[in-house]
Amino acid sequence: MPAMSPGPQDVCIVGGGPAGMILALLLARQGIPVTVLEAAGDFQRNFRGDTLHPAIMELLAGLGLAAPVLGLPHTRAHQARLVRAGDVQVIADFSRLRTPYPFLTVMAQSRFLTFLAAELGRFPHARVLMGARVEGLLEEGGEVRGVRYRRAGALHSLPAALTVGADGRFSKVRDLAGLRLRRLAPGQDVLWFSLPRHADDPGGTIDLHLRGEHCIVTTDHGERWQVGYSIRKGGYAEARAAGVAPIREAVAATIPWLAGRVQALTEWRDLHLLAVEVARVRRWWRPGLLLIGDAAHPISPVGGMGINMAVQDAVAAANVLCGPLRSGRLRPRHLARVQRQRAWQIAALQTQQVIEEREVEGLDGAQPLHVPSLLLRLLQGVPGLQGVPGYVTAYGLRPERLRARWRTARL
């Protein structure tokens, strides 16, 4: 199927997650034609990242969308805590932040994405195609010029001046572009599941429970607890052979107030596997193509930093690319500039996560989810520095702010 010449502005975004949808919205607001291709048939996917950090809420506020988002069902986490042997330590206190949103907004990702899709629907030059699976890249003279995708059994070509791979840690676009992922740490595997929540349960925090060989994270979703249970990397088959009983026993022993509810976990299909790794590509772009979020740099999901960093990638991309796209003068140097702005911060965060993983390998033989390093824990005891872990979790090292010139929508 021959490649077609794209318009000078057209953008194809592969992946309808938070980063892809927010980038699509930022571009569409500037009159740039954009198509989002999402392989799934809908947004109803279990156990996806579900925290909106203050940096994201402030971005939405600048677009006039924070109040509508907070009008959707959600809970708020004001702290992240480490719980071990009855000792509770606050590792990130968001209530200390100077922001209108001093908390993590905990919201089902499907609800947030549905909201963004509806907002995109306001723009006649923007569209979201569900059930669209990318199968190839359109290339011309060494430059990526769009994609081929299959939808409802038919193969289509979508020409584009820019193709953005926002399709996650198992990115199809990354593989098709030949941009190789370099793994920095073995990572862990995590089993996610839900347990009932009672009205008198503790709330307002995201807790990391350490005991024995496992780490268990609990997040309050209002009507349920979302629970993450770590297993050693590659240990899925062994865990499945043992069944749900050892998991129920570990949760009951580690979190006594949940002991009466673990029987709600009845069979293996109640569990959802997430393979966690820390990795990145050396170069995020090729002429006509850019990777953002986990497609460029998979990181640990703990604390929702993956979503936070991916959305900030999208903001950086909008800041750099809106002008060249609107003028029809996009060049490879603009794509390289996006990486330069973001790569140093991602490298610092991933270095921190690799250190954390190595530290916790010695805790009772555990292979848990990432926990804060000794440096971050020490900051909690230094006057004047207790707010640093919360700030870094909420914003990263230097938050990306949408430039004023790109905040006003051009309908």
* DSSP secondary structure of 13-51: EE--SHHHHHHHHHHHTTT--EEEEESSSSS--TT---E
Does pLDDT of 123 surpass 90? yes
Instruction: Choose between 4 and 117: higher pLDDT.
Output: 117
The top-scoring range by mean pLDDT among 6-10, 51-55, 202-206 is 51-55
Does pLDDT of 110 surpass 50? yes
When mean pLDDT is compared across 243-247, 268-272, 353-357, the lowest value belongs to 353-357
Classify 341 as helix, strand or coil: helix
Does pLDDT of 335 surpass 90? yes
Q: Write down the pLDDT at residue 304.
A: 66
How far apart CA 27 and CA 24 sit, in angstroms, is: 5
Q: Write down the pLDDT at residue 143.
A: 96
Q: Write down the pLDDT at residue 303.
A: 58
DSSP state of 369: S
Classify 286 as helix, strand or coil: strand
Strand partners, 183: 279
How far apart CA 96 and CA 385 sit, in angstroms, is: 11
State mean pLDDT over 337-343.
97
Of the CA atoms within 13 Å of residue 298, those in its CB half-sphere come to 21
Q: Write down the pLDDT at residue 188.
A: 75
Instruction: Choose between 385 and 52: higher pLDDT.
Output: 52
Q: Are 181 and 281 in contact (CB under 8 A)?
A: yes
Distances (CA, A) of 221 to 74, 77, 190, 383, 400: 7, 10, 18, 33, 28
Amino acid in the structure at residue 30: Q
Does pLDDT of 122 surpass 60? yes
How far apart CA 324 and CA 310 sit, in angstroms, is: 21
Q: Which two tokens stand for residue 125?
A: 């030059």
Q: Are 106 and 218 in contact (CB under 8 A)?
A: no
How far apart CA 78 and CA 86 sit, in angstroms, is: 20
Strand partners, 89: 82
Instruction: Choose between 70 and 92: higher pLDDT.
Output: 70
Q: Write down the pLDDT at residue 240.
A: 96
Q: Are 29 and 52 in contact (CB under 8 A)?
A: no
Q: Write down the pLDDT at residue 233.
A: 83
Does pLDDT of 242 surpass 90? yes
Share of the chain above pLDDT 70, in %: 88
Q: In what order do the strands lie in the sheet with 104-106?
A: 51-52, 104-106, 75-77
Ramachandran sector of residue 107 (left: φ over 0; alpha: ψ -120 to 50; beta: rest)? beta
Strand partners, 162: 11
Q: Write down the pLDDT at residue 7.
A: 65
Which residue's structure tokens are 């001093």?
102
Ramachandran sector of residue 323 (left: φ over 0; alpha: ψ -120 to 50; beta: rest)? alpha
Q: Write down the pLDDT at residue 4.
A: 47
Share of the chain above pLDDT 90, in %: 71
How far apart CA 343 and CA 355 sit, in angstroms, is: 18
Residue ranges of the domains in the chain? 11-183+276-399, 186-275
The CA dihedral of 14, 22, 341, 136, to the nearest 10 degrees, is: 0
For residue range 165-202, what is the model confidence (pLDDT) as tens digits? 999 999 999 999 999 999 887 667 889 999 999 999 98
Does pLDDT of 365 surpass 50? no
Q: Write down the pLDDT at residue 369.
A: 47
Thinking of the domain 11-183+276-399, which architecture would CATH place it in? 3-Layer(bba) Sandwich (3.50)
How far apart CA 127 and CA 33 sit, in angstroms, is: 9
- Name the phi and psi angles at 251, rounded to 5: -65, -45
Instruction: Choose between 268 and 350: higher pLDDT.
Output: 268
Q: In what order do the strands lie in the sheet with 143-151?
A: 133-140, 143-151, 154-159
State mean pLDDT over 131-135.
97
Predicted TM-score of the model (pTM): 0.91
Q: Which two tokens stand for residue 212?
A: 């024995």
Does pLDDT of 353 surpass 90? no
Which residue's structure tokens are 């038919």?
154
Cβ-Cβ contacts under 8 Å for 11 (sequence gap 6 or more): 24, 27, 32, 33, 34, 35, 160, 161, 162, 163, 164, 325
Does pLDDT of 410 surpass 90? no
